[in-house]
Amino acid sequence: MDRQAQGLTQSRLGHKQEFLKQIVFGGTDGIVTTFAIVAGFAGAQAEGVAQVGGLAVLLFGLANLLADAVSMGLGEFLSLRAQHDLYRARKAHELRAIHETPDIQATHLANLLQARGLGAKEARTTATTFLRHPDLMSETILSHATGLTAPETESPLRNGLFTFGAFVCFGVVPLIPYMLFDATEETTRMSIVATLLALILLGLLRWSATGHQLWRSLGETVLVGTVCAVVAFTVGVVVGA
């Protein structure tokens, strides 16, 4: 495989991981948010709740789902837009500094490279070479000095839409039994099972995106959902008592 093909493959893998990250991020929040409504109603067991039944769960669940999905999508969009703006502003500042005070910037880069393990002579030679490539030099300084990296490969609109879509698609899972059946204890159990399966799927997606240990990805994802459900159920019991 030639270098161009390798670069294309790495780019596709990077995009795949980014998509999976947004799906896991939005999907987990969607499930936890919606199932908290289900668990809260299940814990309440109040007479008024029983009369309204599944309609109450659906109304509150869907309203909360859509409102939070829009909030999450817009939040991801605005956050990434802010990162883009910050990076461009800092890069423009570095480019001006390289043009106006090249010796100072070369010394700055050499010090950064030395801190990463290069010898003094090698670091100085590398920094001097980088002066002929201002774009690369500014990106390297930003990366090593501030931790900022070029965000151009990430689209704010795309990431926002993926987060919104994942939030809705996974967040609706706990509500599906209430769409199909009357609100009973059996319906709640079906919602719990559906939620657990969705969390397991998200754990597998997280494992695929991050490469972390399988048991860790599954365990942490399911644990987060379980803790939120227990809290919501407990609050429901207290309120409905």
Q: Give the pair of three-digit tokens for residue 68.
A: 């939070």
Q: Is 102 helix (H, G, I), strand (E, B) or coil?
A: helix
| Sites in the chain below the pLDDT cut of 50 | 1-13, 46-51
Question: Global pTM?
Answer: 0.74
Round to whole Å and give the CA distance between 173 and 166.
11
User: How would you label 100-124 residue by residue, b for 16+ Cβ within 10 Å and e otherwise?
Assistant: eeeeebbebbbbbbeeeebeeeebb
| Angle at CA of residue 223, ends 191 and 18, nearest 5° | 95
- For the chain, which residues make up each domain, given as ranges? 18-44+54-240
Longest Cα–Cα distance in the chain: 79
Q: Is 6 helix (H, G, I), strand (E, B) or coil?
A: helix
Q: 1-10 pLDDT, tens per residue?
A: 444 444 434 4
Q: Helices 120-130 & 134-146, crossing angle to 10 degrees?
A: 130
Helix (H) or strand (E) holding 117: none
The neighbour count for residue 203, using CB atoms within 10 Å, is: 24
Q: Give the pair of three-digit tokens for residue 217.
A: 């990805």
Q: Cβ contacts of residue 230 below 8 Å, gap of 6+?
A: 39
The predicted structure's pLDDT at residue 156: 87
Query: 35 burial class (0-12, 13-18, 19+ CB within 10 angstroms)?
Result: buried
Whether the CB-CB separation of 173 and 225 falls below 8 Å is answered with: no
The predicted structure's pLDDT at residue 3: 42
Q: Cβ contacts of residue 164 below 8 Å, gap of 6+?
A: 26, 69, 70, 72, 73
Q: 169-219 pLDDT, tens per residue?
A: 999 999 998 888 887 788 888 988 998 899 888 888 878 777 777 888 888
